[in-house]
């Protein structure tokens, strides 16, 4: 009985090692893609932040009506949805 358990354990262990080895390339590829997507997301957020700083509602000074026009909520929601979709 103990030999059978030992044999089953060794077979399971070898299968686990083999599976881990086979997944190494997949893990590396996934990690590379994830890093690339993070870099792209960071660039997009920086561009949006800069555009908001340059062209956002605060860029018009004391003209609150112009600032209100720049606060097109639909555009901001669309942009937010696009960023969230990329991140997810």
DSSP character string of 44-87: HHHHHHHHHHHHSGGGGTT-HHHHHHH--HHHHHHHHHHHHHHH
How many distinct structural domains can be found in the chain?
1
Residue with tokens 């089953």: 8
Q: What is the arithmetic mean of pLDDT over 73-88?
A: 73
Q: Are 86 and 41 in contact (CB under 8 A)?
A: yes
Q: What is the arithmetic mean of pLDDT over 55-64?
A: 73
User: Which domain range does residue 41 map to?
Assistant: 2-87
Share of the chain above pLDDT 90, in %: 25
Q: Is the pTM of this model over 0.75?
A: no
């Amino acid at each position: 009985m103990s030999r059978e358990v030992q044999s089953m354990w060794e077979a399971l262990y070898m299968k686990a090692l083999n599976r881990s080895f086979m997944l190494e390339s997949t893990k590396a590829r996934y990690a590379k893609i994830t890093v690339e997507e993070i870099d792209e997301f960071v660039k997009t957020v920086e561009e949006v932040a800069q555009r908001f700083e340059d062209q956002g509602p605060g860029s018009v000074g004391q003209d609150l009506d112009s600032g209100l026009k720049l606060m097109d909520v639909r555009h901001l929601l669309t942009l937010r949805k696009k960023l969230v979709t990329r991140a997810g």
